[in-house]
Amino acid sequence: MEGEGNERKFILSFSSEEPYERFWGKEILDHNPAAVDLTRLNTIGVLLFNHNRDKVIGKINRAWIENQRGMAEVEFDSDEESEVIFQKVKSGTLKGVSVGYKIGVIEEVMPGKISTDGRFNGPCDVAREWMPYEISVVSVPADATVGVGRELKGNPQAPETLTCFEAQLQINKNRK
């Protein structure tokens, strides 16, 4: 929560590179800044409750990528319905956050293989281009590593970036 006069604002993490088990296998959201299109969140982004489009409880003031996480400053509305959720977040009862998103490009990493950038081991699907379109305060989050008060502390080592040549070598190696 921010300072005086901004009591309805929170900074939270809404996504990470934590693998999420889908019905087809593990999904990973790449958090390289070039992979995430934050345009929609930063222009018309809304804060929902439990992904319910009829329960808009606030707005997204800004969204950014930091330390391989999606981060946002959100501000709760002051209507009666939003106030109930705001008080639960403020008291610490609700800490879970989730994100609605659309994937544009996915890399399928086969079992025993490594992703083209050398960061992820298969089997998994890595979203190489994706666009978040809403952030939700949720009762039960899919990714327990994100949420209100769950921003990553410290300065983790940035992932290694491969050149185009190195990425092609990794692709060729995976085909063997």
Q: Specify the pLDDT at position 155.
A: 37
Q: Which amino acid is at 70?
A: G
Element (H, E) at 24: none
d(C-alpha 29, C-alpha 49), whole Å: 22
Q: What is the mean pLDDT of residues 144-164?
A: 48
Q: Read off the pLDDT band of 142 (50, 70, 90).
A: confident
Residue 24 has pLDDT above 80, yes or no: yes
Average pLDDT, the chain: 84
d(C-alpha 13, C-alpha 36), whole Å: 14
Which among 58, 104, 73 is positioned nearest to 3, based on CA atoms? Answer: 73
Q: Read off the pLDDT band of 173 (50, 70, 90).
A: low
Indicate the pTM of the whole model: 0.79
CA angle 154, 150, 127 (to 5 degrees): 90
Placement of tokens 């039960």 in the chain: 140
DSSP states of 4-26: TT-TTEEEEEEE-S--EEETTEE
Write the CATH number of the domain with boundaries 9-175.
Answer: 3.20.16
Q: Specify the pLDDT at position 147.
A: 60
Domain limits, the chain: 9-175
Q: Which of 7-11, 104-108, 165-169, 171-175 has the highest mean pLDDT?
A: 104-108
What phi, psi does 108 have (nearest 5°)? -90, 120
Could you say which DSSP state residue 159 is in? P
Q: What is the mean pLDDT of residues 31-38?
A: 96
